[in-house]
Structure 1
Amino acid sequence: MSKIIEFIQTLCAGSKSQKELDDAYMARAIDLCELERRMRRLELQAQGSSPSRAMM
């Protein structure tokens, strides 16, 4: 039984939270304009809207 728990803990340790993924995505912006665009995209995704449709 402990081997199963160790395996699950190993899998969980390697995964990142959504906030960490979002922060990394925003950190890759090269300028303020791109950062704002990325922030809007994340806000739209959080609202359940598709960013590709909302940007058109």
Structure 2
Amino acid sequence: MKSQKRATKRRKGVSARERNMRRIESNDRESQTMHFLNDVFEGLRNVLPPINIERNL
């Protein structure tokens, strides 16, 4: 069998600055999502009664 090489696709016209901006924007969206989820879970903690479960480790 002969090995087949695949051509790698290169992004044309995407500068380092553009990649950096996209990464920053993506990180910002992820941060906003995590803050939202944390707020939702905090709201649930305030509504649900506490449960004490002892675990044997």
Smaller-chain TM-score range? 0.3 to 0.5
Question: Using CA pairs below 8 Å that are at least 6 residues apart, which structure has the higher relative contact order?
Answer: 1
Quick check: which one's helix share is greater?
A: 1
State the structure with more CA Rg.
2
Give the TM-score normalised by the residue count of structure 2: 0.40
Give the TM-score normalised by the residue count of structure 1: 0.41
